[in-house]
């Protein structure tokens, strides 16, 4: 059995930037254990699988260790493959996912994802979070799908070297540390050792929480963002009521074929 595999860099203007994702188009769903094994073998933060349906595409995402409810960069990557490698001429793609229907449409040389906005609530675990991140100053501590840590110095984010074992003991999917930027509006880094991803270069889904927070704080609905440590990527966010539009570019890197024994 052969399965096409595309590896592309999401939120990137050229290869070796942004967040690499593997994308596998399927004719029909395979056993979940096999999907997880492929994602583990790919060893990227996310591998996306999709099957075409009458109304669009059914999309799923796997880290090297678990299936997740929402992934931004692998959705962007899957949309790029459908538009550019598979030749779908639609202006808007409709994805059915574990997080409901997600839309991706062409926007010039970018792709725009329409995701549900996520609210944040105050979190009181300041001492535990400081210890896990190895920092002394936290401006604001919030909880959504991830712990959201707001600091007042972007350089502090650059220097982060978290304790991954301590991060695993914290609640939520992962932890995102964010601050105002200089050449961009906001910067962040995201860590998720509990889901098999020590650091994700660019996490679109984290911006479903970051975007509403920063829109209120900055007093504007549209802004630019950069995420990452040694490897970075760029995106922009637009808050539209209960939705967040996340835009970015995709750079192709590699196409291959997964060869498996007959199932």
3-state secondary structure (DSSP) of residue 204: coil
Q: 263: which 2 tokens?
A: 């199932």
For the record, the structure tokens of 124 come out as 């009181």
Q: Tokens representing 181?
A: 């930027």
Rg (CA), the chain: 18
Q: What would the two tokens of residue 76 be? A: 């962007």
- Specify the pairing of strand 92-97 against strand 67-68: unpaired
Q: Which of 17, 41, 46, 199 is catalytic?
A: 46
> Would you call 108 exposed, middle or buried from its count of C-beta atoms within 10 A (0-12, 13-18, 19+)?
exposed
Exposed (0-12), middle (13-18) or buried (19+): which is 19, by Cβ within 10 Å? buried
Q: Is 121 a catalytic residue?
A: no
Where is 72: in which H helix or E strand? Answer: helix 72-80
Q: Chain centroid to CA 183: how far?
A: 22
β 175-180/147-150 pair status: parallel
Q: Which of 239, 252, 256, 258 is nearest to 76 (CA)?
A: 252
Residues noted as catalytic: 46
């Amino acid at each position: 059995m052969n399965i096409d595999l595309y590896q592309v860099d999401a939120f990137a203007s050229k290869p070796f930037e942004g967040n690499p994702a593997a994308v596998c188009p399927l004719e029909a769903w395979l056993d979940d254990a096999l999907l997880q094994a492929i994602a583990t073998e790919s060893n990227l933060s996310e591998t996306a699988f999709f099957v075409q349906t009458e109304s669009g595409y059914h999309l799923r995402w796997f880290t090297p260790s678990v299936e997740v409810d929402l992934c931004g960069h692998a959705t962007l990557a899957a949309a790029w493959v459908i538009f550019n490698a598979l030749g779908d001429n639609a202006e808007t793609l409709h994805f059915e996912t574990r997080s409901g229907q997600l839309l991706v449409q062409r926007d010039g040389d970018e792709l725009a994802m329409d995701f549900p906005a996520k609210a944040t609530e105050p979190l009181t675990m300041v001492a535990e979070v400081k210890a896990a991140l190895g920092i002394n100053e936290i401006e604001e501590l919030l909880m959504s799908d991830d712990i959201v840590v707001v600091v007042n110095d972007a350089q502090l984010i650059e220097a982060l070297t978290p304790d991954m074992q301590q991060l695993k003991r914290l609640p939520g999917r992962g932890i995102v540390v964010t601050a105002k930027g200089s050449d961009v509006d906001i910067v962040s880094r995201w860590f998720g050792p509990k889901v098999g991803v020590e650091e994700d270069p660019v996490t679109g889904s984290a911006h479903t929480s970051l975007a509403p927070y920063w829109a209120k704080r900055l007093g504007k609905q549209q802004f630019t963002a950069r995420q990452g440590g040694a490897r970075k990527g760029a995106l922009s966010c637009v808050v539209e009521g209960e939705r967040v539009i996340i835009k970015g570019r995709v750079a192709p890197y590699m196409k291959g074929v997964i060869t498996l024994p007959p199932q």
